[in-house]
Chain A
Amino acid sequence: MFNINFKKNKLIPIVVILLIACLVLVILLFSKCGNEQPAQNLNPDDAAVTWNGEQEVSRPTVDNKPAIAVPGIKEMIFIANQKEQKVNLYNPRENNCYFQMNLYAEDELVWKSGNVSPGDGFYDIELTKTLPQGERQGYLIIKCYKQDGTELNSARVKFKLSVVPQ
């Protein structure tokens, strides 16, 4: 009987220390989570209307003449010796014409698109040939057409084409 009590007495400080350690752990955990703002009841904006798809937005004009938005490119980076490449080529959604895009490395056509509608574009393209490592002049020639096929002014976007090893 005495023996059991003695053992219990020795265990008490250990259990207390363990409990304190656990308490500190729990406090630390709560202090980390406590930075979050308490939940509040949010009110919806009464001015918002039911969304029925995009409406017609104003088209780009310059001096009241219709214009075409042409995204500029400073540099395009391709991976050497592979045809699949990552790009950001698009027809801005505010335009009112198709884009036909032709991508040149120096004077060589390496990719072309079909008719790209406003708001559409490409993230992945496949070149007609692989390119060796190095820097060269790149061009994106953008031919613009109305939906009825009428040709509009076109753009040639010049940029640095860097072909790097994988």
Chain B
Amino acid sequence: MKKIISLIMVVCLMATIGMATASADSVNGGTTTITYKEPDTYCVLIPETIDMTFENYRFQATDMNLAEGDEVFVTMGGLDENNYFPLTHENGVDTARKKVYYDYGSIPTDRLDMLPAYCVGYFSDEDTISRMGFMMINDGDMHFKAGNYTGTAEFTVELRESV
């Protein structure tokens, strides 16, 4: 009987000590190191279409959460070697073209050489408005058939890690 009671006492004592230790741990905290990498997120807004009224454009973005030094570039496809963008008349036959000019805005000068070809948008840090934009202008000596013209472009969006 004595042995049984002693055993019960030992178990109770151990349980009490164990709980006290656990309680102390929760107060003082452990020394476990937890490493967690938050992934970059970003969402770029591109125009739905491009038409003759399209002149100035500066990309916007939402949910921007980039790692230090990471950059997002937006490039425009469909331009010829002279930076002309083709548009098609609503009759489906006639065509027009507008020339794209780049507005480098507030891009740091040391980043200008890093821009890919046909770059029309640039974001870094937590920018929600692109630091550069582009303009589409009619060449003065070109005359096109009256009417509505539209065109579609492919915009490439790319995140580059800092080097």
Interface, chain A (partner B; CB < 8 A): 11, 14, 17-18, 21-22, 24-25, 28-29, 31-32, 60, 62-63, 65-75, 92, 97, 141, 144, 151-159
Interface string of B59-93 (1 = CB under 8 A from A): 11011000000101000010000000000000000
- Closest B residue to A61 by beta carbon equals B45
Determine which of B16, B20, B40 lies in contact with A74 in the assembled complex, contact meaning CB atoms within 8 Å: B40
Whether B46 lies near A18 (C-beta < 8 A) is: no
How far, in angstroms, from A72 to B71 measured CA to CA in the complex? 12
Interfacial chain A residues near B152, Cβ < 8 Å:
151-154
> In the complex, what residues of A have CB within 8 A of residue B63's CB?
71
Q: CA of A92 to CA of B46 in the docked complex: distance in angstroms? A: 13
Q: CB < 8 Å: which of B20, B42, B56, B60 contacts A72?
A: B42
User: In the bound complex, how far is the Cα of B20 from the Cα of A29, in angstroms?
Assistant: 10
| A69 contacts across to B, CB distance below 8 A | 43-45, 62
Whether B114 sits at the interface, judged by CB under 8 Å, is: no
Contact A28 B19 (CB under 8 A): yes
The contact of B9 among A18, A74, A75, A152, by CB within 8 Å, is A18
Chain B min CB distance to A39 (Å): 23
Complex Cα distance A88/B163, Å? 27
Residues of B within 8 A of A11 (CB): 5
- Residues in B with CB closer than 8 Å to A70 are 43-46, 155, 157
Q: Write the nearest CB–CB distance from B98 to chain A, whole angstroms.
A: 15
> Within 8 Å of chain A (Cβ to Cβ): is B47?
yes
Q: Are A156 and B155 in contact (CB under 8 A)?
A: yes
Q: Beyond A28-B23, A69-B45, is A154–B157 a contact (Cβ under 8 Å)?
A: no
Residue B58 CB within 8 A of the other chain = yes
Q: How far is the CB of A156 from chain B (nearest CB, A)?
A: 4
Instruction: Name which residue of chain B comes closest to A11, CB basis.
Output: B5
**In the assembled complex, B13 has its CB within 8 A of some CB on chain A:** yes
Most A Cβ at <10 Å: residue of B13, B20, B56, B159: B159
Give A70 to B9 CA distance when docked, in angstroms.
Answer: 67
A67 contacts which of B41, B48, B153 (Cβ < 8 Å)? B48
Q: Is the CB of A144 within 8 A of B41?
A: no
Q: Could you tell me the distance in whole angstroms from the C-beta of A51 to the nearest C-beta in chain B?
A: 25
Q: Does B125 contact A (CB under 8 A)?
A: no
On whether the beta carbons of B20 and A28 are closer than 8 Å, the reply is: yes
Q: A72-B41, A157-B157, A158-B157 are in contact. Are A144 and B56 (CB under 8 A)?
A: no
Chain A, Cβ-Cβ closest to B56: A63
Task: Contacts A68-B46, A156-B156 known; list 8 others, CB within 8 Å.
Answer: A22-B12, A60-B62, A62-B60, A65-B47, A69-B43, A71-B43, A74-B70, A74-B159
